[in-house]
């Protein structure tokens, strides 16, 4: 399904911006919105790649 996001113009860009915004949030806020520890760690790892 991921490839569909990038097939539609503009959607991939928005998703990358949203992920970047999430990466900047503190962990406790991410936990409050329901992300699991694994999701948070994966997001933070992606920041440095």
**Per-residue pLDDT tens digits for 5-27:** 555 555 566 777 777 888 888 88
Measure the CA–CA gap between 26 and 4, rounded to whole angstroms: 29
What pTM was estimated for this model as a whole? 0.47
* Phi, psi dihedral angles at 47 (to 5 degrees): -60, -35
Task: Report how far Cα 19 is from the mean position of its chain's Cα atoms.
Answer: 3
Q: Determine the pLDDT at residue 29.
A: 86
Structure tokens at 18: 């949203």
Q: What is the mean pLDDT of the chain?
A: 74
For the chain, give every domain's residue range. Answer: 18-49
d(CA 19, CA 15): 6
């Amino acid at each position: 399904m991921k490839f569909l996001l990038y097939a539609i113009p503009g959607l991939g860009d928005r998703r990358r911006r949203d992920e970047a915004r999430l990466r900047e949030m503190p962990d406790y806020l991410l936990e409050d919105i329901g992300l699991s520890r694994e999701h948070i760690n994966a997001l933070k790892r992606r920041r440095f790649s």
